[in-house]
Amino acid sequence: MPIEPPTPPSAAANAMRVLVIRHGAFGDLVQASGALRDIREHHAGAHLSLLVAPQYAPLMRRCPYVDATIEDPRAPLLDPRRSLGLLRRLRAQRFDRVYDLQGSDRTRLYRLMLARPGVPWSRNDNPGDGPTPDRLAYAELLARAGVPAAHAATPQVRWMAGDVSALLATAGVAPGYVALIPGSAARHPHKRWPHYAELARRLAARGIEAVVAPGPDELELARTLPCRTLLGPHGEPLDWFRLAGVLDRAAFVIGNDTGPTHLAAALGRPGLALFGPHTRAQRTGILLPGFDAIEAADLQALGVDEVLARAERMGLPARA
């Protein structure tokens, strides 16, 4: 049965119109949730629209801080004719305030084409190769714009967690399980720590059940692991809301640098992320209270003993 999104705040027909731009990806939208909440609270009576990539529009329609989503297919910048329909639609909305959390070349072009006298446009200029996590850059952007940034630095996405009681009961999964996130997008195989099967066996020896809720790129990988695999009623990957529900109930989470691991951190779960040399954990914003990371020059050489020892310091029970 589909999960219905909560009803967003209502806005009068003559209300102030606010546009927030954050296309994605999944983990980036998780990181932006706190900033969205701050903007919503500052513009309590406004109509707030989010410009987002089409694949994330269903997710963000559930967000209680957003009144409407506008899908941006992000046509090639060298072919501006394909963007004219979107630009006309945005221009017709006559937004009174714009917060550009994306801060890309594309959104710079949008600003040039949509600018109206007297309409403030706050832009995130945090470079992708810089040391500052986006969530902290969002807090700085909002502070400069005069928006109290009470939540931007510590995003919380409990609104995303669906009720998975029936799912867990059907799968025979009892409380106290550890959620493993062994995959990543297929285009990022270098982010995958290769020892999750051994980790699952070691957890089982302690009497701790491990579960995995694989995405579309991780179904084959999940079948190789000695743990419980959680899927939908027809064998399909869980949607974002049920995935969040599974993570929200986990006693502990161990995962790669991928969107669901960032989701677990923003849900406030205790956990540990495993990073190779591709990026710094600090830059991604995943280091939240109760959530830590191991950074390894070679993920292949990162042993299960080291992961378990760090996880125990973070709250993983030694025995069930």
Range of the domain at 88: 17-156
Across the range 122-129, mean pLDDT stands at: 89
Segment 261-282 shows an average pLDDT of 96
Q: How many domains does the chain fold into?
A: 2
- Please tell me whether residues 203 and 291 are part of one structural domain: yes
The pLDDT score that the predictor gives to residue 13 is 64
Does 273 or 12 have the greater pLDDT score? 273
Across residues 284-298, what is the average pLDDT?
A: 95
Calculate what percentage of the chain has a pLDDT beyond 70. 96
Residue in the block written with tokens 């890309």: 104
The verdict on residue 2 lying in a domain is no
100 and 228 assigned to the same domain? no
pLDDT band, very low/low/confident/very high, at 83 (cuts 50, 70, 90): confident
Within a domain: 66: yes
pLDDT tier at 230, thresholds 50, 70, 90? very high
CATH code for the domain in which residue 293 is found: 3.40.50.2000
Q: What is the pLDDT of residue 319?
A: 77
> How much is the mean pLDDT over the chain?
92
**238 and 256, same domain (yes or no):** yes
Give the domain-ending residue among 106, 131, 156.
Answer: 156
Last residue of a domain, one of 107, 133, 156: 156
Domain assignment present for residue 152? The answer is: yes
pTM: predicted TM-score of the whole model, two decimal places: 0.89
